[in-house]
């Protein structure tokens, strides 16, 4: 953060370690990088997040929602029909320990969830509800339910077309199933699309999956303990992250299978406490959600505003259709690709339907949403953007929880740090697999990327590189453009796997390994 760098430079200058002129020159470096980078990448960012003409609805969100709807229809609402079977698979009921792969169904789910459950569930939902009103929650849930079918499709393909190596390691994801799947079907352009996806994934991993997480974690810590140089937070994070990721996916999975359930349960329990304390408002809150979803509660929070904000937040939170989760799920121990598709459909449910909804309910019940008595709009520091009652993002969520539990902001700080850490280690794996797809497998090549990734952790915590983060977010959603094109061409392959497995499951050919 710029304040952190400025404070450090002022300290150095006061002690005579650097000249004041040098300090001022370095202070402006962050701003210069912002301006130059924004000028270069601005058109790309604007293109990815451009609204559909005549609306304020980003076309990339519509791209994701339409795909999720298509897959839901094509697979006969698989996310509802096989929800129970997905839970059985996560429990390990059908897991053969002798199958190829690196991690269990549960570990793969935890690793992928750690990449999606994060600040978007805490801060992003607050902004969505603040702008779109409580009704945004309804559309967020609907988008999450539809997104389950997208995850099912991409993660099945991730396992089906993965590379399995002699040492037991696995590489998979959109870059593999697009290139290999297109070649299998005799379709052109697979290699080009795969390379594009890998490039976007690396950029997204270094920015949104790394720098942004480190930056926000430092902001939350500094908010409690007072301002201090961001590079200190970055160095601590980088050291811990490197210690985890240097051990590969098995090491990452061992951490995420412990951290993700802990932080998820901690957050949901805190939310439930607030909801129980305000039990008399539960009916009213759900009434606000449904009324706001279909009626004109406020100008910005009316039907269209609620729909846009709900769909947008769900897409940004669970990443269904982006293709990132398919990289983690590809490493599961199984010989049945479709089983990991079933497991992965639980992700948007946990991420969006459960955790995001909990956040929205707490904000609604807490009374932190302020409606302007004259205009009927949800107000944001006198306007209708990004903050409500003077609080923005994570601060609004913290205030909402703090209204019922005075010490919760401290718990939230722990949650933010854990969310940021788990997101970083998961995205390091996504970036790594894209890196090795482009440059080849090998310990040295992997180590190079891991070191680069950790350097960016320090940079992200210490600097305020807004346009860099904007660009990396755009890169993440550019992944979705490439990935969904691949899914449309390859969903027939998933249908074959689905029909075969369903018949063998019904006939008893597929048996449980434990009861």
SS (H, E, C) 93-151: CCCCCCCCCCECHHHHHHHHHHHHCCHHHHHHHHHHHHHHCCCHHHHHHHHHHHHHHHH
Q: Give the model's pLDDT for residue 434.
A: 94
Residue 490 tokens, joined: 């390859």
**Distance separating alpha carbons of residues 10 and 16, to the nearest angstrom:** 10
User: What residue spans of 207-323 are helical by DSSP H?
Assistant: 212-225, 230-245, 249-277, 282-294, 303-318
Q: Which residues pair with 58 in a beta bridge?
A: 51
- Write down the pLDDT at residue 438: 93
Residues 489 and 233: their CA atoms lie apart, in Å, by 44
In our burial notation (b when 16+ CB lie closer than 10 A, e otherwise), range 126-143 reads bbbbbbbbbbbbbbbbbb
- Please tell me the predicted confidence (pLDDT) of residue 415: 77
Q: Can you give the length of the chain in residues?
A: 515
DSSP 296: -
Which pTM does this prediction carry?
A: 0.82
pLDDT at 391: 44
pLDDT at 18 (0 to 100): 43
Positions in the chain whose pLDDT score sits under 70: 1-34, 36-37, 95-103, 111, 114-121, 123-124, 127, 248-250, 253, 295-306, 309, 313, 316, 368-396, 404, 464-469, 513-515
* Residue pair 217/471 in contact by the 8 Å Cβ criterion: no
Q: Count Cβ neighbours within 10 Å for each residue of 334-353 and write b for 16 or more, e otherwise.
A: bebbbbbbbbbbbbbbbbbb
Helix axes 408-439, 190-206, angle to 10 degrees: 140
């Amino acid at each position: 953060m710029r304040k952190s760098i400025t404070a450090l430079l002022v300290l150095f200058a006061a002690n005579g370690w650097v000249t004041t002129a040098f300090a001022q020159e370095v202070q402006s470096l962050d701003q210069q990088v912002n301006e130059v980078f924004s000028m270069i990448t601005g058109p790309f960012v604007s293109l990815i997040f451009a609204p559909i003409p005549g609306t304020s609805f980003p076309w990339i969100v519509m791209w994701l929602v339409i795909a999720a709807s298509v897959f839901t229809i094509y697979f006969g609402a698989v996310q509802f029909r096989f929800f129970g079977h997905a839970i059985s698979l996560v429990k390990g009921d059908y897991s053969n320990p002798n199958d190829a792969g690196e991690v269990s169904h549960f570990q793969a789910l935890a690793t992928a969830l750690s990449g999606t459950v994060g600040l978007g569930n805490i801060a992003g939902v607050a902004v969505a509800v603040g702008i779109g009103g409580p009704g945004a929650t309804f559309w967020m849930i609907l988008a999450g339910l539809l997104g389950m079918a997208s995850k099912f499709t991409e993660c099945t393909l991730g396992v089906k077309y993965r590379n399995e190596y002699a040492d037991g390691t696995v590489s998979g994801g959109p870059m593999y199933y697009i290139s290999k799947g297109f070649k299998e079907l005799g379709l052109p352009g697979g290699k080009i699309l795969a390379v594009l996806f890998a490039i976007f994934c690396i950029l997204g991993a270094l920015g949104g999956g790394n720098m942004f997480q480190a930056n926000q974690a430092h902001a939350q810590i500094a908010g409690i303990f007072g301002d201090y140089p961001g590079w200190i937070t970055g160095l601590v994070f980088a050291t811990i992250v490197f210690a985890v990721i240097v051990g590969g996916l098995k090491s990452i999975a061992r951490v995420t299978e412990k951290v993700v359930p802990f932080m998820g349960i901690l957050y949901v329990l805190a939310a439930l406490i607030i909801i129980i304390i305000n039990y008399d408002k539960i009916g009213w809150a759900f009434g606000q959600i449904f009324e706001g979803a279909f009626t004109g509660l406020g100008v910005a929070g009316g039907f269209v505003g609620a729909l846009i904000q709900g769909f947008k937040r769900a897409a940004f939170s669970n990443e269904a259709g982006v293709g990132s989760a398919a990289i983690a799920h590809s490493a599961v121990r199984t010989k049945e690709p479709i089983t990991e598709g079933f497991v992965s459909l639980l992700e948007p449910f946990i991420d969006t339907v459960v955790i995001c909804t909990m956040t929205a309910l707490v904000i609604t019940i807490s009374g932190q949403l302020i409606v302007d008595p004259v205009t009927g709009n949800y107000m944001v520091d006198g306007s209708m953007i990004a903050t409500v009652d003077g609080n923005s993002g994570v601060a609004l969520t913290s205030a909402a929880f703090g209204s019922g539990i005075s010490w919760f902001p401290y718990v939230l700080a722990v949650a933010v740090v854990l969310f940021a850490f788990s997101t970083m280690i998961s995205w390091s794996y996504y970036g790594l697999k894209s890196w090795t797809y482009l440059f080849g497998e090998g310990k040295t090549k992997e180590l190079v990327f891991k070191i680069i990734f950790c350097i960016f952790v320090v940079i992200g915590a210490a600097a305020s590189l807004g346009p860099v983060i904007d660009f990396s977010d755009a890169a993440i959603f550019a992944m979705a453009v490439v990935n969904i094109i691949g899914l449309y061409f390859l969903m027939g392959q998933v249908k074959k796997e689905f029909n075969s497995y369903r018949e063998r499951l019904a006939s008893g050919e597929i048996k449980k390994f434990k009861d």
